[in-house]
A and B are shown apart, each in its own frame.
Chain A
């Protein structure tokens, strides 16, 4: 059997098994390159306005904080809406204190979480349609290290959700429909539908088979598209021409 004929046979049979995944790779790949990655990350949904802090009302010092909380680390003086506050890690837990009197303000309540989410969202007219406090079992789109967290859903294009940390009062994650689709696209691209890691055996098998199938395809491209000087295998060509004629009929 000729190289041409063998390649045709192997290309046909291999593509029966890996053709579907090649189509999946091209669809998911096209989606990922067409969507702007910064839009996917939700960066354009965030109003990144950082007002300057007023220090004249900071009556509770870094030093006082450290003597009151001996395990404190990563201490930051910033804003929680219009209040000047300290955020720090008290051991494993994030804590917010008022910078005026050192009063603890965390965890934040529902009203404050909604207000922070709205402040951070670019579309000031969008209404909040759902609020949920998540303390265990985070959804697929949220890392468990952010728990506990308030999920604020907006009634807007692409169903955006903002996640506000209950202990730090900060926006920790933002998601929308196109991110959620992108996440599945990536999972299907690397063929790991749970952890989304590219070093799995399923992907290895399909990539190797697709590579072999494509080499046979390339041989076919050569035979079908390059002008053939000599008809060495006239019998094969005649057979193929007959088959093509049959297909057309």
Chain B
């Protein structure tokens, strides 16, 4: 809109060659968009093509079909899923009550929380895992769930920001006071009043956490656990077609998961809006 009015004004101003001035930017715009689209789409296309080819460069589904029977694939996949699920549960249990409490009772603590949750972005994963491998007790180091505990830290920046912006968008204090004065206890207030209002924030926090854990390579490889990304990297030497097929499928799977969760939420909220309207 704004650019429209500006361009209209420029046209009104006495311009010796209005045509040429208008057309040149359009050519540039097309060129820039084309170059960007080529740079970002070509690698995805090339990898997908490679995943659906056999060794003699013909279209084939052999790589995709062969995935489940490869040595170590199932174990790596299950381990990644277990880590993703346990990380998600732990993150939500830790961050949701803390963030709600700080919003309700300790608004001054918000700055502290903001500072702490920005730190995992400043400290690179490779340095963090160095410290964790030093500081963790032996019994914890022998368990893959040590990774879950660290992934909770990695997910803090996204999760805190998602929940925080979700809470800032609603009038939390009024909602809680209304529920309490109507006789709801704290559990009921949280479960029936605050959580439904927080759904969008919780959803994006969960999606980001799952995507983060399923794609994490640095920490898992240095902690010597074969999660899915680590397995793919190792399997590259055995069969590049199969390894690429797994990599692209995991990528597509993550996107599908995100799309499904987000669209489910959208249709759900539309339905509830309709219900309220009636």
Is chain B found bound to chain A in the same assembly? no
Q: Which residues of B contact A (CB under 8 A)?
A: none
* A interface list, Cβ under 8 A from B: none
